[in-house]
Amino acid sequence: MRSILVFVMIAFASLAHAHDAPSGWSYEPYCCNGDAHTGDCQMIPPKSVAVTPGGYRVTLVPGDHRLVTHAHIFLLPMTRALKSGDGDYHLCLFPNEDTPRCFYAPEMGY
């Protein structure tokens, strides 16, 4: 039984490959599904993000992210933001366009 569990864990770990952002850094494996052309993670325009006292307000319309087909407003707490590897905003939507799985934000200035 133990060997079966180890085999299953190795099989799933080998399937978790993060794809890269256009600038070359990798999204977390938990966050992304697919690849750079069909995946659910991608850079979003900075105009789509507003920093608020409660965190981030992300407003997306079709064209801002490849999966978005209608307008969305997501309110994400600061604690939910991951560090962007290139100073841009990135959003991973999974399992559908209504669900932000991971949000990457640039570091705040001092």
What per-residue confidence (pLDDT) applies to 18? 61
Q: 48: closest CA among 36, 65, 32?
A: 65
Buried b (16+ CB within 10 A) or exposed e, 6-15: eeeeeeeeee
pTM score: 0.80
Average pLDDT, the chain: 84
DSSP, residue by residue, the chain: -HHHHHHHHHHHHHH--PPBPTTSPBPPTTT--S-TTTSSEEEE-GGGEEEETTEEEEEE-TTSSTT--S-EEEEE-GGGEEEPSSSSEEEEE-SSTT-EEEEEEPPPP-
Local mean pLDDT, 10-residue blocks, the chain (110 residues): 41 50 88 86 97 96 97 96 96 96 84
What per-residue confidence (pLDDT) applies to 7? 36
Q: Exposed/middle/buried for 25, CB within 10 Å: 0-12, 13-18, 19+? A: middle
What per-residue confidence (pLDDT) applies to 109? 56
| d(C-alpha 46, C-alpha 84), whole Å | 13
What per-residue confidence (pLDDT) applies to 24? 82
pLDDT tens readout for residues 24-48 = 899 999 998 888 788 899 999 999 9
